[in-house]
Chain A
């Protein structure tokens, strides 16, 4: 991490400590968007770090925004930073700037006519109900088109993920403005999925770090049989396993960051698979150590663990990405297995 990035993380940390309290996360789940949080993140330029200034972003490195998204996940920030970022990147490639209101991205089945009539549906659209615009890819007569559509054009059926985060079903039948439809190449949907998987991997790794910190802290504070439970070897061994998994995820997330700008599919696949796999081990231990307290909605452990259970499924779960990794290495053949691993 360079100095600039350290500064971003420190600023963000202070901001989120104040603005992304457990109450704010809970309120979001019961239907109130964390408007204030989003607004201040926008004003400080943190929702568009890494997107060029000419495209309405705050400039800086791509890596900056990845760090922001990872850090925000440590706090379970209930805002669509990842989707807004992907939308921003896609729009900036078209020379377009992104709105300050959250923009989400929809992956579904959309068709667009030559006259720019758009129709179709998508499920699991993050935060659609609270977004200003939706960015999506539609099939046109001569290839794919990236469309930017006001969220008010959609019928939105509100649904929630296992974490209580908005994952809405949306449908549309509208006319897209000519300046809001752009021809894109056939790889675009895969690229969106890859970016989504990379960001979910980073978010999981951030949330897992926070889970480790919370669990260690809790074990130091909670006393049973006359001493902190952290003094019991059984607990120490469990926390050591947790720390090992979290450290592996930290390492895998570094590689995901490096692979992001080049769409390095293999490294992103390895990251999403490895980090996703850590989730069950880590949440199991964290909940066990937290005891019944951690099983309540009152304790903010659930803000992390439930998100982890949701994020590991999104943009392809471990199985899906492991298969991609497995297919690549199987195709190399047994005697090239090692060589292709060291070439990564």
Chain B
């Protein structure tokens, strides 16, 4: 294969499999049988559930003990996240803080920031949003205009972020802003600030998505004062810091499990009397999923070794997202008319969320550009 595109087989260690059992027992106890499980990481949230998860030690579990973590391996975390998604647990509140904001602070934050935020993320008390896209900046992230001007003891933030999931319920947002005017190097002059979403100069406006939920928002900043100690890393280094998150953001199980509950309900529909066609379809869906999962674990293994396989991560997300989009569309045509309510509800919910799968975290077009670069085409 080409350089930068290598998927070595990787086996989850025994301790990861041990945690799997604990997570399953926890979920069997905690998940409310009255609600419909949804394996889309962004389609269900419960602060109460996140706090219970935190009490188990399963938020920020790879972080050092001094910040409340368990010092577990990246692969143990992998198992916890895939079990949560597969079971359809409401993970929306803590997902971003656990996956992205916490690791960012661990890597670039000051000691004071780590002390202040990480233990509260771990306990499931602090939830974070990501502030990247803007009304005029989607895939072209380098074109952002939200800016922070240096002032006495901090920064004055002005502008707006959009598509910010859970900004209306989360406490904080890690926000990418311009701290210097644009220059020839488009990627220079950006910084990451932690914005307190309860600040009176921050306005959060809900946006309804296709399924009618208001889980994402537009967030407006009107002379928001950000103290110096809320800047993460180095001023001007924001772009590099953001890029270093992408390996984690793009290669995880949330990139191919979003439609998993549809497969489960499909299996339930057919299990008593499957036709050949239905068995063939189930076999096809499983063959893809098993392979995607192995690729994702392979990248998790690389990340655990401190590597940064960005092309592989983009490739998993692109392949996984296409799969998530395909699942409801082929499943819906392979069942007879009289399906259970549960199946129909699961299917419809997935169809309404499906357009977001190939947009969030990098559109499929952007991802294919990243892969093309890995192939030496650009």
A244→B319 contact, CB < 8 A: yes
B375 A277 Cβ-Cβ under 8 A: no
Q: List residues of chain A with CB within 8 A of the CB of B268.
A: 333-335
Is A330 in contact with B274, judged by CB distance below 8 angstroms? yes
Interface 0/1 of B362-378, CB less than 8 Å to A? 00010111011011111
Most buried by B among A216, A323, A325, A326: A326
Question: CB distance A237 to B372 under 8 Å?
Answer: yes
> B284 to A277, Cβ gap below 8 A?
yes
Whether B240 is near chain A, meaning CB under 8 Å from some CB there, is no
Is B86 engaged at the interface, CB distance under 8 Å to the other chain? yes
Q: Cβ of B271 and Cβ of A273 under 8 Å apart?
A: no
Contact between A322 and B280, CB atoms less than 8 A apart: yes
Nearest Cβ in chain B — how far from A322, in angstroms? 3
Interface SS of chain A: helix, strand, loop or mixed? helix
> Judging by beta carbons under 8 Å apart, are B286 and A341 in contact?
yes
Q: Do A329 and B267 touch across chains, with their CB atoms under 8 A apart?
A: yes
Among A15-23, A64-72, A246-254, A297-305, the one that faces the other chain is A246-254
Residues of B within 8 A of A168 (CB): none
Contacts of B368 in A (CB 8 A): 236-237, 240-241
Contact residues of A between 250 and 297, Cβ < 8 Å to B? 250-252, 254-255, 258, 269-270, 273-274, 277
Q: Given A247-B5, A270-B290, A334-B268, A239 and B283 touching (CB < 8 A)? A: no
Query: Contacts A240-B375, A243-B315, A244-B319 known; A323 to B280 CB distance under 8 Å?
Result: yes
Please indicate the chain A residues that have their CB under 8 angstroms from the CB of B282 in the complex: 325-326, 329-330
Q: Which residues of B contact A321 (CB under 8 A)?
A: 283, 287
B279 interfacial contact with A, CB 8 Å = yes
B377 and A325 within 8 A (CB): no
Q: Which residues of chain A come closer than 8 Å to B82, judged between CB atoms? A: 342
Output the least CB separation between A71 and chain B (Å). 13
Tell me if B18 counts as interface (CB < 8 A to partner A): no
Q: Is B349 an interface residue (CB 8 A)?
A: no
State the CA gap A99–B247 with chains docked (Å): 51
What residues of chain B lie closer than 8 Å to A182, measured between beta carbons?
A: none
Q: Which residue of B lies closest to A340 (CB)?
A: B286
Decide if B291 is an interface residue (CB 8 Å cutoff): yes
Known A254-B8, A326-B278; contact A248-B267, beta-carbon cutoff 8 A: no
- Contact between A326 and B294, CB atoms less than 8 A apart: no
Closest-CB distance, A291 to chain B (whole angstroms): 17
Binding site for A on B (CB under 8 A): 1-2, 5, 7-9, 20, 24, 82, 86-87, 260, 263-265, 267-268, 270-271, 274, 276, 278-284, 286-295, 298, 312, 315, 318-319, 365, 367-369, 371-372, 374-378
CB<8 Å pairs between A and B, sample of 10: A244-B319, A248-B295, A270-B290, A273-B284, A322-B280, A325-B282, A330-B270, A338-B86, A338-B264, A342-B20
Given A333-B267, A334-B268, A338-B87, 15 other A-B residues pairs in contact with their CB atoms under 8 A? A219-B377, A236-B377, A240-B367, A240-B368, A244-B318, A244-B371, A247-B7, A247-B319, A250-B1, A254-B9, A258-B9, A270-B287, A273-B287, A337-B263, A341-B289
